[in-house]
Amino acid sequence: MSSVIGAGAGYGMCRAALETGIALTAACTVVGAWAGASLFYNDDMNIHKAVFVDTLNTSPGKRSHVTWGSHTSGNWGSITVNRAYLVKGVKCSEYESVVSITRQWPLYGIQRENEFGVACQMPDGRWIIQ
């Protein structure tokens, strides 16, 4: 779906400038399709990052689990905070993060990432992954 939107946008932007050659218009449409697929991929990664930070901010100090899913793309992710603790007054959380994103044409394939780690919250509110 995103590649179709991107292809339409690419065609629309290039059509006026490229009316002299169908090959150039087709190339522009393919570039638009790639850009559209890339935008949807980035949107879902941004959703995962936002849910990840929100989960770290709101975890109760014990095991907690949150999932998200996109009805538009079918992509999903989950974040589990196994425990939270203080190190010299700094809140740290052991976490597991899973994100599964199906890349649409022309970025075919499923990208699934599992990550385990520790994130610590700095005094300014940012989280730093150790």
Q: Which residue has the tokens 């006026």?
A: 16
CB atoms within 10 A of CB 55: 20
- How much is the CA Rg of the chain, to the nearest whole Å? 20
Average pLDDT, the chain: 77
The type of residue at 13 is M
The 8-class DSSP code of residue 104 comes to P
The type of residue at 96 is E
pLDDT value at residue 54: 93
Rounded Cα distance between 124 and 89, Å, is 13
Pick the more confident residue, 128 or 21.
Answer: 128
What is the total count of domains within the chain? 1
Close Cβ partners of 16 (under 8 Å, ≥ 6 residues apart): none
* pLDDT tens per residue across span 82-98: 999 999 999 999 999 99
The 8-class DSSP code of residue 11 comes to H
CA 20 from centre of chain: 38
Q: Which domain holds residue 82?
A: 2-129
